[in-house]
Structure 1
């Protein structure tokens, strides 16, 4: 919920984020989602939120969205998280005593997060790489600490109880080299796979299996979502099998919905 003063008028706006956990999983680190515009105090506003700025918090910005505004708008604002009864939770509320001056299309505050870009550069250069993988006849270099930070399975294999069973290079069977390359790209950059075409659905399925194998939950959810939007009579059986084998309830539900249509059946 958002409460604020415009021209000495006390007004509020409640923003409900449907499927927040799924939204958080699908949005890349540092990426924003924007609410539908709403009008308060004679001005149009939007709320921008970034659920993946950090593992422990999300960022919310209030934006003056009015076009052609010819003067600044002064606002005293308050952000609150509401419980199921619609009551603000005191520990999750923050009121700003100072008056904020808004200009059209300018957010209240913010910062740019370059960590994923920097790690992407590290993946390209491979400076300091300390582990090698053999996958599908190709060799891949990587950094143990990065993999361990992003995957509990890699952490166990490279630093934990499973370490004694693995050597260097690490041999990975039952996976294509292009799938492992895409997995590494996501681990370093948190960058989701490109928009899926019909030809890319097979890759989405392979990546889902890889993400489940290495406990990269966000990538798994992204692949699940891609598969959900490309269900047809040719791949429905395969998608349903993936949903069953890798615990993807959303994909399973969409497969059954597809089958529920007489024309599809």
Structure 2
């Protein structure tokens, strides 16, 4: 058998690993299969990857008793005194153009070679390979791609900044502000609030700076649980729990008041996705008074159904909508009336004024 091993010129190195490709060319495939028994092998000349010597072992009739119908290919560590070398490798049969054949490519995940002579391998079924077009002129060409890992890549865990800031809020460490909301007191940190809200920045680092340090800051037009949720979001970028639709609406107003854009989007989205006949009138008033255009449009689309409109009229919030936002009610009616009746609608709405 004329056996020839060539190492390809392609090689590149990176900081965490080094990769090389080694090409093993077996001339006289049939003769090797006839001469070498199960468990017998041909070993390539050594090649270097990652500062270590390696070789490819080719077993034409398999490396173990139960794999005589296979070709076995093993990558073996040949360096003396080498310990715990981490590497991954791939064996590929090459086609006539020197390109890997996907159906005859076998990737081995990263393994640790503990000492010289240790090997790991893959198998190829001889019958399938011999029936293919990839043994040409009784020659088989196989490429071994070896990657030696110099250092294991460290997986960076997800950010836990929100947990630390949440603990800071809960434990009140170094808090320099106190808020009085609906009879409850809340401790907070001036720098955190100012960093998260331009409104808080203007209030706490501006004219109110001295007064806010001396006594609790009174917030008279907000519920305590709403302010608590607002603080929780400022510190952790998340809402504390699953809230009801009414509370979501109040938090949306608070987020708008303190110009916390992401919280506004979250609450408005939740309200848009949970519109029902009992709450749609309240949501419409909320959207009109505070300019929440997405919420308003979602409510109007919901009320485009006559049955939903009828149910809304029977709800507790209808009278409040009628008295506080007549133009919105007119818009609701206009959307479901045919064009020829819109004039009559205008007349009716004029009579309500």
Which TM-score tier does this pair reach, normalised by the shorter chain? 0.5 to 0.7
- SS of aligned partner of 2:202: helix
For residues 237 and 113 of structure 1, do their structure 2 counterparts lie closer, same or farther at Cα, with a shift above 3 Å needed?
Answer: same
More helix by percentage: 2
Aligned residues of 1:156 and 1:163 also touching (Cα < 8 A): no
Give the CA RMSD over aligned residues. 2.5
| Equivalence for 1:191 | 238
1:226 to 266, 270, 273: 270
| Equivalence for 2:287 | 243
- SS of aligned partner of 1:263: helix
Q: Does 1:121 align with 2:167?
A: yes
Tell me the alpha carbon deviations over residues 8-31 of structure 1, each in whole angstroms, 9 at most, x when there is no partner: xxxxxxxxxxxxxxxxxxxxxxxx
The offset of 1:168, in angstroms, is: 2.2
Structure 2: 5+ residue runs without aligned partners?
Answer: 1-105, 110-146, 148-153, 310-353
Could you say which structure has the greater relative contact order, defined with CA pairs below 8 angstroms and 6 or more residues apart? Answer: 1
Q: Does 1:169 align with 2:169?
A: no
| Equivalence for 2:203 | 157
Question: 4+ runs of 1 displaced by more than 4 Å?
Answer: 108-111, 164-167
TM-score by length of 2: 0.42
| Equivalence for 2:245 | 201
TM-score by length of 1: 0.56
For residues 262 and 161 of structure 1, do their structure 2 counterparts lie closer, same or farther at Cα, with a shift above 3 Å needed?
Answer: same
Tell me the alpha carbon deviations over residues 82-135 of structure 1, each in whole angstroms, 9 at most, x when there is no partner: xxxxxxxxxxxxxxxxxxx9xxxxxx9754211111100101111100010110
- SS of aligned partner of 2:221: coil
| Equivalence for 1:135 | 181
| Equivalence for 1:178 | 225
For residues 130 and 236 of structure 1, do their structure 2 counterparts lie closer, same or farther at Cα, with a shift above 3 Å needed?
Answer: same
Aligned residues of 2:232 and 2:240 also touching (Cα < 8 A): no
For residues 210 and 259 of structure 1, do their structure 2 counterparts lie closer, same or farther at Cα, with a shift above 3 Å needed?
Answer: same
Instruction: Tell me, in whole angstroms, the C-alpha distance in 1 between the residues paired with 2:251 and 2:159.
Output: 26
Structure 1: 5+ residue runs without aligned partners?
Answer: 1-69, 74-100, 102-107
Aligned residues of 1:132 and 1:140 also touching (Cα < 8 A): yes
